[in-house]
Amino acid sequence: MSVIEIKTHPVTHIIVRDFLDSSSKKKLLNSLLPIRENHLEKGDRVGLYKSFMSENVDLYKRISYLHELLEENPTLNRDCIDILENNIWRDDLRQAYANTNNLLFRTYPCSNISSMLFSQYEAGEGMAWHNDPTSFCTASYIFQFDDRQFLDGGDFLLSGALEIDNFSPEKFVTYSQENNFLIIFPSKAVHKITKISGYRYSLQYFVDYKE
């Protein structure tokens, strides 16, 4: 059973432990395996973030935008998208969104514009402090494959700052890497991933709205 917590420090966000039941998680991982093996490409974020990057962090990682990939490859199993999206809108989470006064996911009718990014970090990789200002809200699902465990690092750091210019990481919260863990936060909130040893996997669900 999932454990849902609404946090207000340093910015309103929601964390969910044991997000997926074992059957749903197994189906999601099986759907992602062929994508992991055949459709991950090296993503270069250095050019985008070099203007404020002051840390010695390797910004390269392997990524795949799943909606676009599945549209181009209709024979691939789309459980990875369907299971995540369906569970994000479960009744228990809808209630949590309502309890934040719709600061994150919105429960009233609107047009949901979303994209989903499958990411793989390998040893020595991480992400410097950054934000994603083109989206309204981000849901990041962190998980593990049985054959590729993480060893250390890969922590998620979330700050209360909503602008990257002149950013100073004075107030932030740290979530150590945890299997079957979901965090939902404002996309503009500045955040980072610490360097990892082993592997780190996530599905990032970026959401925007049209009223």
CATH of the domain at 28: 2.60.120.620
Number of domains in the chain: 1
The mean pLDDT value of the chain amounts to: 89
> Binning pLDDT at 50, 70 and 90, where does residue 96 land?
very high
- Predicted confidence at residue 60, as pLDDT, reads 61
User: Which amino acid would we find at residue 130?
Assistant: H
pTM here is 0.91
Looking up tokens 């609404």 gives 6
pLDDT over 80 (residue 75): yes
- Helix (H/G/I), strand (E/B), else coil: 83: helix
> Binning pLDDT at 50, 70 and 90, where does residue 91 land?
very high
**Span 117-166, pLDDT tens digits:** 999 999 888 998 999 988 999 999 999 999 987 778 999 999 999 998 88
Q: Which range of residues forms the domain containing residue 56? A: 3-208
- Helix (H/G/I), strand (E/B), else coil: 29: helix
> Binning pLDDT at 50, 70 and 90, where does residue 53 land?
very low
DSSP class of 120: E
